[in-house]
Amino acid sequence: MANIGIPGLVLIFILALIVFGPKKLPELGRAIGTTIKEFKRSTRELTGDIVDEVKDVKEIIEKN
């Protein structure tokens, strides 16, 4: 993604505008934003669960 640059992003935006049209583009952007937000939330929860499990295992090991 870092190799795309500004001209590449402009080209992608113009192609998306042609394919989806100006009325669907905001809806598409909103849907993508919601999906990314949900993915980040799920990843955060999963990471938190793993950290909690590791802490529990460490406590069990320290007690023995």
Helix intervals (H) in 1-64: 5-63
Q: Does a structural domain hold residue 52?
A: yes
Percent of residues, the chain, with pLDDT higher than 70? 97
Please check whether residue 56 lies inside any domain of the structure.
Answer: yes
Token readout for 40 is 């980040």
Mean pLDDT of the chain: 89
For residue 58, the enclosing domain spans: 22-64
In the structure, what pLDDT confidence band is assigned to residue 2 with cuts at 50, 70 and 90?
Answer: low
* 34 occurs within a structural domain: yes
What is the total count of domains within the chain?
Answer: 1
CB of 25 closer than 8 Å to CB of 16: yes
User: Is residue 30 one of the residues assigned to a domain?
Assistant: yes
Q: Which of 39, 17, 40, 41 is nearest to 29 (CA)?
A: 17
Question: How do residues 14-45 score in pLDDT, each as one tens digit?
Answer: 998 898 888 888 898 899 999 999 999 999 99
8 falls within a domain: no
